Amino acid sequence: MRIYGYISLCLLIMTIQGCAEKTPYSMSPKSDIEKTNAVRRELGIREIKPDWQFYIHQFNMDKWKDHDYLSKTVQMTEDPNELLWETDEYYTGATWITANNGVAWEHVVIAYDYTAKQFSIDYSGPNAKINILFENIGMTSYGYAANSNEETLKLADKVLSLLGLSRL
């Protein structure tokens, strides 16, 4: 009787282990930073800086930190030098209370979609001047993209300067 219990347990373990999704991750970046930074420089995207800390590579995505804050997320294809999209996060260090009484960090996110070749910007924070600016231009819940990348980046520079930050 004991042998049947042992066999059942082994079958159960093998089934669970076989069904468990593998989520490989790495503590080193997969993309060629010099090569991808050259592309960023051409497009006007903030480069990965030498003093940034690599955070994690998971699901074909590299994440970078500048001190304590997540600064850049880069999504790539299986080929780590073929970029799909990336986001740059700019944190002010300020917190604010959300509508459901949670605490959130004030930040701006500038995204670039390599496939669509389009920038977008998003803001989360209590700054009334910036919130009114975005309300007036019709920002959606997922951000704002102007008619051209130049217009979007001009707006991004304006928003960041109101917060005492710079894009590059």
**pLDDT over 60 at 127, yes or no:** yes
Confirm whether 14 is domain-assigned: no
Partner residues linked to 63 by β-bridges: 56, 73
Q: How confident is the model at residue 3 (pLDDT cuts 50, 70, 90)?
A: low
**pLDDT over 70 at 5, yes or no:** no
What domain count does the chain have? 1
Average pLDDT of the residues in 72-77: 92
Q: How confident is the model at residue 7 (pLDDT cuts 50, 70, 90)?
A: low
Confirm whether 13 is domain-assigned: no
Confirm whether 5 is domain-assigned: no
CB 87 within 8 A of CB 73: yes
Confirm whether 12 is domain-assigned: no
- Looking up tokens 């004991």 gives 2
Domain containing 154 equals 24-162
- Please give the full DSSP string across 107-137, using - where no structure is assigned: EEEEEEETTTTEEEEEEES--HHHHHHHHHH
pLDDT tens digits, 20-50: 455 566 777 777 888 889 999 999 999 999 9
Give every CB contact of residue 95 below 8 A, 6+ residues apart in sequence: 103, 104, 105, 106
Q: Residue 20, SS3? A: coil
**pLDDT over 50 at 131, yes or no:** yes
**pLDDT over 70 at 13, yes or no:** no
pLDDT at 20: 46
What's CA 46's distance to the chain center, in Å?
13
Confirm whether 133 is domain-assigned: yes
Between 133 and 2, whose confidence is greater?
A: 133
Between 120 and 12, whose confidence is greater?
A: 120
Confirm whether 153 is domain-assigned: yes
Distance between CA atoms of residues 66 and 118, nearest Å:
24
HSE-up of residue 116 (Cα within 13 Å, Cβ side): 12
Average pLDDT of the residues in 127-149: 86
- Which pTM was predicted? 0.80
